[in-house]
Structure 1
Amino acid sequence: MTLFVLTDQLSNTIRQSKLPDKKKDELLSSDTISHTKLIKFYETFHPTPSLLQLIKQTKLHIPKYEQFNKPKTKEFIKQMEKLRLEAKEKEYQKLIQQPEKFETLYDNSNQEYISPSKAHKELKNQLTTIVNIFISVASVAYAMWYWTKSSWGLKDSYRVLLTIFIGLLVLIAEVVVYMGYLNKVEEAKIKELQKKEVKKIIKTFDFTS
């Protein structure tokens, strides 16, 4: 219900109207007047040329915030405390238990997240491996080139063919060994991801009881 403040101007208008004294006292007994009584007062006696002018003599009554702030009951406080503890328990359970499904935009993705530092380290290892393979191939090729001349005394054409063949053979062997190593590492990662960590709750406390 809308209430208007009973200002001095409105009070004077009510006193000067043809309203019975008893009704006047009823309206003036309170600090506010309802919009229904104000409209009825205007329609009955027309104290002003228009209803808007009558409303301008007063102002809207706005209750204080404390009037809307009802005290919380013991049951409400107890229920809120229980809900808060349940929310904390669910959050704790979510932390200690691995979810079966991903809860991100990358659902059902088995790809492992690689941080920039880890990617840099892997790139460095790959470059080091490539350099080592190149050194191994170059060393064996040079040894074959030198040995075919000093020990066998072969023609340069045969020496080139043998050097290239041995270099390719060493290169293939190095690549096969390296790929086998990568496969072993990948299998170890998959096995590690498939392992399930088992956690048990020893005891829980109910603070609401």
Structure 2
Amino acid sequence: MVLLQTTDRILSAIGTLSPDERSSLAPSDTSLPTTCDQPIEHKTLIALSRLLPRTQAQTLSPLNVLLRGAHVYIPPPPPKPQPSPEYVALMERLRREQEQREYRSLVSKRESADLASDDDQDDISPSLVLNILLSIVLCAMAVFQLTRWWSNDGVRVLLSLGTGIVVGVAEVVVYMAYLRKVGTSKQKERSRVEKKVVIGEYKGEQEITDAQGRPVSIDAATAMEKEEIWGRGINGGMRRRVREKWEREQEKAS
């Protein structure tokens, strides 16, 4: 079965038919087109051309006249089916899981980058070396000037050199002790496990509950924070010390 697009000629030809002729063209389960670009069967056009009268002036058959300007009818594409509720719920769950994976990946990369930056940081900087040299030179010059009343210049020079050496050794010892203490603190911070405690969500004047549904007594400043995070991180040690101090004060008050 070939479907063609209805043209003005076809509509005009249908308009010249009587009701009986129209009923003979269109069976009970079909209807004749009423506007242009509607589909019409090729066999219906053949039957229509046989019903049309042919005049002496016509050189073409009525079928050729009706087919002039007609094109094959291409039906519009069917509408896209709507996704089912199960599909929508599945996509939403997968989207949330993907967002959580991306968040965890970003957090882990940030922490590893912070740790790498701490490890790769050079402990000896040009400014440190310059400060040590200035301390040695200035202390030696100060001792040399303080002993300007001495008659033996050799002793003054030796005393100045000894003072510079002592100051340099003291600077190095103090800085090495500082580096050792910093390294120990970093090791302690890395060994501690970060804790995240959900203390509830602030909802205006409503009652605040924890993850188990139990009521939580919390002030307005803490209620604005949905999660309490302390432990590792850039300021993890400071947060932990503040928390431990607050816990000790609470224990003493109770």
Q: TM-score under structure 2 normalisation? A: 0.43
Say which structure is richer in helix: 1
Q: TM-score under structure 1 normalisation? A: 0.50
